[in-house]
Amino acid sequence: MRLPQEIIRAKRDGETLDAADIKAFIDGFAGERVTEGQVAAFAMAVFFRGMSQDETVALTEAMLHSGDVLDWAGLDRPVVDKHSTGGVGDNVSLMLAPIVAACGAAVPMISGRGLGHTGGTLDKMEAIPGYSVTPDNATFRRTVCDIGCAIIGQTGRLAPADGRFYAIRDVTATVESIPLITASILSKKLAEGLDGLVLDVKSGSGAFMVSHEDARALAASLVAVANGAGLRTTALLTRMDESLASAAGNAVEIRNAVRFLTGAQRDVALEEVTLALAAEMLLSARLAPDLIEGRKQADAALGDGRAAETFAKMVAALGGPSDFVERMEDYLPAAPIIREIVADEDGFVATVDARRLGLAVVELGGGRTRPQDAVDHAVGFSDLALIGRRLMRGERLARVHARDEATAERAAAALREAYGLSGEAIERDASAVLERFG
């Protein structure tokens, strides 16, 4: 068996690693015999040299078997989940899990924290006072069995090697690697003991895979590796050329999600992506015979209030307030500084640099530049003007939620730089869902 540095050297020089070397390296990392510095070097080597499908499968399986695999034997619901490759204003999971659970599936949604310029589902859920993203296994299982869904974090017993690898990738500019993304996502999802998986692969300025071609390659890799491992998987390629929701941050996205679930406000593209993924999950769970019927079931769960009720029960079961949906403004943290950012000229919103927008949230304190950084859940942007909207000079582009005046001013400047206005009317693209795989 080769030493860790020799495995790194081999990949750096473009060699194909065998499964035994990959397993030894990951086992060494899980057992703290391989250092974080060596993992960073390995990640950079993979970033530049890539991995074959066989290598990616070996990496996925090595991280999967670094911990436990959940067993849902005896549960009378099909077990399905969704994963997004990340974006700005992507709070889909918050609505999707309760919608699909309300339709009869079990959704043990193990999510991640913010990565680079993208927000993290766990950081959003932790904006809810008392909500635990790290419940004990009994509480997690009881919540999924009794309510139908639980949005939690990766425990130390599920793919633990990936949990540490994930944090290192975040701060070493090695996120945008198809093999590393594939192995990271699927090691966690395979550990959930699922019957079916649906992937939301983003493409555009706010995605890690900016180009359509790279996003297609990632979607194809994920579907091939997952199905090869025996997990029924499909993927949707979706647009991330602006904030998906009209809010970007943590508490502000929770507010947006509750309004979506209750019917008070539903951003158009966000609704399209959420319901398309719900239909895919219900088809994968074999609770719907086709995507049309799956969409009807998801619409019904929203319309009659079952999805909002399921979300409320999940929040309470995992330590949050029992009346959170009814009184969320009493519970969610609010930033001391809330300012309107206005347009400098007349025009139509033509382009949004979603990556720049996401970085502005990080700079406000709503994300991390180091794994150990604390997150300010109150900060971010709300009421974001979306592509196609006509603005007059002085009209609101967005609201910034900030800790102090200085960071509010910097965030306002960054947001204005992220927006491009046109004198001519802009037609929104026909669909936020670009392509289906699987």
Residue 188 bears catalytic tag: yes
Q: From the CB of residue 409, how many other CB atoms can be counted at a distance below 10 Å?
A: 14
Cβ 77 vs Cβ 193: under 8 Å: no
Which CATH class name applies to 4-50?
Answer: mainly alpha
- Catalytic residue, from 169, 306, 355, 377: name it: 169
Answer with the residue of higher pLDDT: 267 or 167: 267
* Res 116: pLDDT: 65
What rounded mean pLDDT belongs to the chain?
93
Per-residue pLDDT tens for 174-232? 988 889 989 988 998 999 999 999 999 999 988 878 899 999 999 999 999 898 888 99
Please check the confidence at residue 357 and state whether its pLDDT lies above 70: yes
From 21, 81, 123, 200, the catalytic residue: 81
First to last CA, the chain: 37
User: How far is CA 399 from each of CA 268, 293, 380, 416, rounded to the nearest angstrom?
Assistant: 19, 38, 8, 12
Q: Which of 23, 65, 77, 83 does the annotation list as catalytic?
A: 83
Rounded to whole angstroms, how far apart are CA atoms 48 and 29? Answer: 21
Which residues make Cβ contacts (< 8 Å) with residue 423, sequence separation at least 6?
A: 346, 347, 348
Is 11 an active-site residue? no
Q: Which two tokens stand for residue 26?
A: 């990951």
The confidence score (pLDDT) of residue 3 equals: 95
Residue 341 pLDDT > 70? yes
CA 194 to chain CA centroid, nearest Å: 18
**Catalytic-role residue among 65, 77, 82, 255:** 82
Asked if residues 310 and 147 have their Cβ atoms less than 8 Å apart, the reply is: yes
Contact 205, 248 (CB under 8 A): no
> To which H or E segment does residue 159 belong?
none
Express each pLDDT in 113-159 by its tens digit.
776 677 789 999 999 999 999 999 899 999 999 999 999 987 767 78
The candidate with the shortest Cα–Cα distance to 267, out of 282, 256, 276, is 256
Fold type of domain 334-422? Aldehyde Oxidoreductase; domain 3 (3.90.1170)
As a whole number of angstroms, the distance between CA 255 and CA 383 comes to 11
Active site residue 16: no
Distance in angstroms (rounded) separating the CA atoms of residues 411 and 185: 31
In one-letter notation, the amino acid at residue 66 is: S
pLDDT category of residue 404 using cuts at 50, 70 and 90: very high
Among 121, 187, 310, 382, the one annotated catalytic: 121
> Domain coordinates of the chain in residue numbers?
4-50, 80-328, 334-422
Partner residues linked to 390 by β-bridges: 348
d(CA 377, CA 251): 6
Please tell me the CATH code under which domain 80-328 is placed.
3.40.1030.10
Indicate the residue type of 250: N
Residue 169 falls in the annotated catalytic set: yes
Strand ordering across the sheet containing 390-391: 390-391, 347-352, 419-422
Strands 347-352 and 337-342: unpaired
At residue 41, does pLDDT exceed 80? Answer: yes
Q: What is the pLDDT of residue 172?
A: 92
258 token code pair: 């509750």
H-helix or E-strand spanning residue 201? strand 196-203
Compute the distance between CA of residue 219 and CA of residue 79 in angstroms, rounded to an integer: 21
Which of 65-69, 105-109, 231-235 shows the lowest per-residue confidence on average (mean pLDDT)?
65-69
Among candidates 127, 165, 123, which has minimal Cα distance to 368? 123
pLDDT class of 409 with cuts at 50, 70, 90:
very high
